[in-house]
A and B are shown apart, each in its own frame.
Chain A
Amino acid sequence: MELAVSSRPCAPPRRGGRPLLPVALLLPASVAALLFICGPLLVLAWQSLLEHVPGQVGAAADSPLSYRNYLLFTSPSYLNFLWGTLRISACAALAAVLLSGLIAYRITRIRSGWARKALIGLMLGLTFLSVLVRVYAISLTFGVGGPAGAFLRSLGVALGSREYIECVVILGFLHFLLPIVTLILIGTFQGISGSYYEAARSLGVASWRAHLDTTVRLALPGLYSAFIVAFSLAASSFVIPLVLGQGKVLFLANLAYVRFGEMADYPGGAAVSIVLLAVSLAIVGLLGKLLGNRLGRSA
């Protein structure tokens, strides 16, 4: 993870021993980070290797370390949950990137300065919106009493069906992802000059084709990395599947909570959490680096 840093070192290495100040500044946050960021991850990993006795809270005392909790994931139901998490997140991320791409592209090509600022401000404001408000608004609108729900029901859609619930969950993700991904992609499209598209058009290429060959091709690395971000955010989501899933759609995060909250199975929950962490890092790390490099070079 990179932070923007100025290129010239500002304080020279001194023989007089004045590195105390930066160290003193860093110390409180570093101690807190070690205790409360690193610590929990290690503790969780350790916890996941313990045994849980049904009926008791937490891990059994003096239990030997074992991989048993991870075997949960060999069961078909858990594999289903894992697959469901990945499938729905990927769909939502893909839809988000496509739609946001269109919106972001339009925004960067608007000529009027205040209109552009207003739209960017709108997107920004929407990122500040609480996820609960979104989730509630969507479940209200697409639920039984809401306008969209009533309309769809009149078309014959079963509002209680699993397919519909999954769609509502994806809509929930969209509402959450669209503003963020749009802002990211605005950055991407700002960096792509409109001259390429115009050059293609002047050569007689159809509009859609010109876009595909120039704008989209150039934006591909940015689109891909936005997809990775969206995918990762969706896969590790908790609230959206919790409320909109109505118990039928469960993501890995919800599973961890179920084991913790309803079954008091801390080791099991810890194992699910570690798997969730691994999935999240895998998306950002592997997928991101591997294919991102390929795309970066070809584009």
Chain B
Amino acid sequence: MRRLLDGLWGAFGGLTVILSVAFLLLPIAIAVMMSFDARTFLGAFPPQAFSWHWYQRFIDEPLYMHGLRNSLLLASLSTLLSVGLGVAAAIGLHKARFRGRQLLVSIFLAPLVVPAVVIGFGLLVTLSALGVVSGMGKLLIAHGVITLPYVIRSVTATLAGLGPSLEEAAMSLGASPWTVIRTVVLPLCRPGIVVGAVLAFTVSFDDVSVGIFLADPESTTLPLALVSMMRSNFDLTIAAASTAMIAVSCIALVLVEWLIGVDRLFGTGTTKR
């Protein structure tokens, strides 16, 4: 009898896991399937005939294309910005020991904890006060802010795994502090920088809650366009757009795996070599 209960319990556990994974994957599969639906209206699932016409509509819709262009541009620029600032800051933090250091670290990482709406709204008021008018400019600054912590955290984790003797060895071989950074620290930080950059790009590309306060019609992004469509005209063009975004996510994941391996994301690790 106890054996039976144990078996049931195990089966229940297994079933729950399978159902959960199904729950994670099925809706996405449904959305992808529906994006190929030949019907010109949103009909009941499943689609009977398939066509690319929703994708055609997606490409033809100026709002989406404009948004896509903006999103890609914005994500690239803000990634560059936060990688530039973030790598420098992470190395600076690694080398410096001063009293306010922990506080500074908390400030850098704050956007991870502060709700996005607070950041968006706060930046809106601040940037207007500072006289920043351009929508893209405001978005760039905002996305720089929300992506910076990912870069800093990722690079810092890699740096911690290096150990101090590598830098001391380089100095003993005649390298000035800047040369040590250039020739030893940066090359060995590459995994952390890559992971940080990929995360930054993804976060920026996907952002809605910050951008919704700051974007104007000129600088609207793809996610923002999609959100407004979802609330007004809920059709399958969004499904096509979603499938495209899934493809982007897959590419990001493959990039990370190819460049440094998925397991590296779970802790510090020096280069693959």
Task: Look across to chain B and name the residue whose beta carbon is closest to the beta carbon of A172.
Answer: B27
Interface string of B79-117 (1 = CB under 8 A from A): 000001110110111111100000011111111111111
Of A206, A239, A280, the contact of B227 (CB 8 Å cutoff) = A239
> When the two chains form their complex, are residues A136 and B31 in contact, meaning their CB atoms are under 8 A apart?
yes
A242: Cβ under 8 A from any B Cβ: yes
A13 to B97, CA, bound (A): 9
Task: Look across to chain A and name the residue whose beta carbon is closest to the beta carbon of B164.
Answer: A10
Which B residues touch A18, using CB under 8 A? 177
> When the two chains form their complex, are residues B123 and A36 in contact, meaning their CB atoms are under 8 A apart?
yes
Which A residues touch B126, using CB under 8 A? 35-36, 39-40, 43
A129: Cβ under 8 A from any B Cβ: yes
A22: Cβ under 8 A from any B Cβ: yes
Segment 133-191 of A: residues with Cβ below 8 Å from B: 133-142, 145-147, 150, 171, 174-175, 178-179, 187
A49: Cβ under 8 A from any B Cβ: no
> When the two chains form their complex, are residues A4 and B156 in contact, meaning their CB atoms are under 8 A apart?
yes
Query: How far apart are A18's CB and chain B's nearest CB, in angstroms?
Result: 6
> When the two chains form their complex, are residues B162 and A6 in contact, meaning their CB atoms are under 8 A apart?
yes
Task: Look across to chain B and name the residue whose beta carbon is closest to the beta carbon of A276.
Answer: B115
Q: How many residues of A contact B (CB 8 A)?
A: 94
Segment 232-273 of B: residues with Cβ below 8 Å from A: 234, 238-239, 242, 245-246, 248-250, 252-253, 257, 262-263, 265-266, 268
Which A residues touch B250, using CB under 8 A? 125
A256: Cβ under 8 A from any B Cβ: yes
Which B residues touch A266, using CB under 8 A? 125
> When the two chains form their complex, are residues A29 and B208 in contact, meaning their CB atoms are under 8 A apart?
no
Which A residues touch B42, using CB under 8 A? 145
In the complex, the number of residue pairs spanning A and B with C-beta atoms less than 8 Å apart equals 293
| Residues of B contacting A: mostly | helix
Segment 1-25 of A: residues with Cβ below 8 Å from B: 1, 3-6, 8-11, 13, 18-19, 21-25
Of B89, B117, B262, the contact of A256 (CB 8 Å cutoff) = B117
Of B23, B114, B208, the contact of A239 (CB 8 Å cutoff) = B208
Given A30-B104, A243-B227, are A132 and B262 also a contact pair (CB < 8 Å)? no
Segment 176-215 of B: residues with Cβ below 8 Å from A: 177-178, 181, 202, 205-206, 208-209, 212-213
A207: Cβ under 8 A from any B Cβ: yes
A277 to B116, CA, bound (A): 10
A133 to B46, CA, bound (A): 19
A47 to B213, CA, bound (A): 16
> When the two chains form their complex, are residues B160 and A260 in contact, meaning their CB atoms are under 8 A apart?
no
> When the two chains form their complex, are residues A147 and B30 in contact, meaning their CB atoms are under 8 A apart?
yes
Task: Look across to chain A and name the residue whose beta carbon is closest to the beta carbon of B5.
Answer: A206
B133: Cβ under 8 A from any A Cβ: no
Interface string of A220-239 (1 = CB under 8 A from B): 00000000000010001011
A25 to B156, CA, bound (A): 14
Task: Look across to chain A and name the residue whose beta carbon is closest to the beta carbon of B86.
Answer: A29
Query: How far apart are A70's CB and chain B's nearest CB, in angstroms?
Result: 15
B34: Cβ under 8 A from any A Cβ: yes
Given A22-B92, A135-B230, A243-B231, are A146 and B162 also a contact pair (CB < 8 Å)? no
B173: Cβ under 8 A from any A Cβ: no
3 smallest beta-carbon distances between A and B, as pairs: A40-B122, A25-B92, A236-B115
Besides the contacts A43-B126, A269-B121, what 13 more A-B pairs have beta carbons closer than 8 Å?
A: A22-B93, A28-B88, A34-B107, A47-B125, A99-B16, A120-B262, A140-B30, A141-B30, A150-B44, A175-B24, A179-B24, A260-B213, A273-B122
12 A-B pairs whose Cβ atoms sit less than 8 Å apart in the complex:
A1-B105, A3-B160, A9-B164, A25-B92, A37-B111, A106-B13, A140-B34, A146-B44, A150-B45, A207-B5, A238-B208, A277-B118
